[in-house]
Chain A
Amino acid sequence: MRAAVLIGALIVFAALPFAGFSIPGLFEGTLGGPGTLNLLGLCFVFGALALTYDLVFGYVGLLSFGHALYFATGVYVTAIAVTRWHWSLPAALLLTAVVSVVLPLVLGAVCLRMRDIPFAMVTLAFAQAGSILVAQNPFGLTGGEEGLALGGDTLPAFLVGVANTRNLYWIALVLLIAIYVVAWRAVNSPPGRVWQAIRENERRVAVIGLNPYLYKLGAFVLSAFLASACGVAYLLLQGGANPQVTTADFTLALLVMVVLGGVGTLWGAVLGGVVYEYLDFRLVALSNTSAVQALPGILRVPLSEPLFLLGVLFILLVLFVPGGLGGALRRRLPA
């Protein structure tokens, strides 16, 4: 039954680019139009990214504040290789893959010497170093504050241009499915069970004779690698890299997504990522409507700031709905 619903939903999403009708209020323009497909593609990417974050945070209990760094690795390494060095896309992807294994391996090895909150602070510090590096525009590679538009001369034609948005949409959809499958296999594998045991009681895992450090490092690297893959899809959808994705605020947004959807459930994290990205986008549109603009300043200012609304929503969820949207839904529909 659940499998049938899932397959049906996948078919609907895969066929969406051919839809000619529109859903007023939810999306602007027709469903199959490039604007909606781009938004949905970004929602899928953020759903997948939230999932990769949930792997370390929800399943191993590692509160990393540096996840943006690995997403940004995917974005920037690919962008630099393609745009600055004029590499072909496969070569650029190969380089990105290598970097996105080596970097988390080295940094994770250092960070995981700490636990709990100190671990969180250290990951934050490394991510900040990455953010500084990107902002400083070393050798004119990253474009600094301006960001880096993806140059098209070596990109395959089917990835470029508004008319090809549907291809990018499908890539995002496939990415989400692929990451979901990998994550599902991972958390249900023997190492995945050890991750969850570490989350519950790390000392006990050590007493049993396993080395928690190696398992945590494995989860850290896997999650970072998948996050980099999300970064590549994001780069293609956005048509460029922007330094926003390297900032601490971006990681905090990821945390909000996962908690919004429900920590420690795969589909909850995906839901959180999709809902967050959708709200973030639509709340900007809402703040520009005449109804909001006509309000007095004391109401207009808070309503015009998506991050304010999302931050407040987040606080309320943490205080009153600890399981997030996923947990609340599950209580309603006992499967």
Chain B
Amino acid sequence: MTTIALLLITGLGLGALYFLIAAGLSLIWGLMRVLNFAHGAFFTVAAYAGWSASGLAGGASPEVQWLLALAVAVLAGGAFATLTEVLLIRPLYTRHVGQVLVTVGLALATISLVQGGFGSDPKRLALPAWMTGTIAIAGANIPTTRLVVIAFALAVFALLIFFLRRTRFGLIVRAGVENRAMVQALGIDVQRAFTLVFAIGGAAAGLAGMLAGTYYGTIDPGRGTSMLIFAFIVVIIGGLGSVTGSAVAAIVVGVLQQFLNFYGAAGVGDFSVVLLLAVVLLVRPGGFSGSST
């Protein structure tokens, strides 16, 4: 029982990270039809920006350092994504494959630059004392970081849903996902929505970068890429363009992965997630959810 509780919450934590990456990917794809390979680069750059900021504030208490790192990561992710959209995606407005290719080049270049600048060894992150401990839930000692990650993902989910359902920009984004040409025909500037969605996606990826650092205790240059691939899987299983679908799929994938990695051999969980994807595609080629939020 304790093992199950531990695996469940750890899996939910992992799913929370996947969700933070996948939500942005899914919206970007839904609105702009861009498969954003640079999302892993946003994640990595933001994590290193946050880590550097927390290093600069070396004298402050770990709580302040951690919060500062988190804030810097969110800002860095958002800023990097906005720049990417304006400088690289926008000039290739009519060339979808070109847009994908540019994000591929950006991902390769950025991650190798981070690797060259900071080295490929993992960097330890300064965490507040209460985050290094555990909490007893259902008899299991759950590391507190798992709960922190889950709480942040829930907050982001709530904010995104509020944004999409209750604000004017959210309405434009949802309409754009549904039928972009129609929104443009109504005289609405979709271009601004593109930039906004990229900024939000980048900020969420940046948050994920720092929270992944919190979850694992370290950051390294390669994690963004490996998490990105699972986030892609989450996006497809959840249905492209759907935030709720991504949330559900992220939980399923994260929990499944944890359980099978524990009860099967190492790597079986990762492997079965791909199998799950294949099964979903065979049964429902459009993913589980077709709605726009």
Which residues of A pack against B, CB within 8 Å? 63, 110, 113-114, 116-118, 120-122, 124-126, 128-129, 132-133, 135-136, 248-249, 252-253, 255-256, 259, 301-302, 304-308, 310-312, 314-315, 318-319, 322
Contacts and interface: CB of A to CB of B under 8 A. Distances in A.
Contact of A63 (B97, B102, B112, B113): B97
A259 B35 contact: no
B262 to A, nearest CB: 15
A132 B267 contact: yes
B236 A256 contact: no
B88 A319 contact: yes
Q: Nearest 5 pairs between A and B by C-beta?
A: A311-B109, A307-B112, A314-B105, A311-B108, A136-B267
Interface string B255-293: 000000000011100110011011001100100000000
**Most chain A Cβ neighbours within 10 Å, of B229, B275, B282:** B229
10 contacts: A114-B281, A121-B233, A125-B229, A126-B274, A249-B225, A253-B108, A302-B116, A308-B112, A319-B88, A319-B98
A314 B277 CA distance: 31
Interface in B96-122: 96-98, 100-102, 104-113, 115-117
Contact of B112 (A116, A133, A305): A305
Interface string B215-242: 0000000000100010011011000100
Contacts of B277: 122, 125
A121 B35 contact: yes
B88 A315 contact: yes
A307 B281 CA distance: 34
Contacts, number: 124
B157 interface: no
Contacts of A302: 113, 116
B91 interface: yes
Contact of B105 (A129, A248, A256, A322): A256
Contact of A315 (B105, B275, B278): B105
A318 B101 contact: yes
A305 to B, nearest CB: 4
Interface in B21-44: 29, 33, 35, 37
Contact of B281 (A122, A136, A253): A122
B92 interface: yes
A126 B98 CA distance: 23
A116 B240 CA distance: 13
A252 B281 contact: no
B101 A314 contact: yes
B274 A129 contact: yes
A312 B105 CA distance: 7
Contacts of B95: 322
A113 B285 CA distance: 7
A121 B228 CA distance: 11
B113 A310 contact: no
A113 to B, nearest CB: 5
Contact of A307 (B109, B240, B271): B109
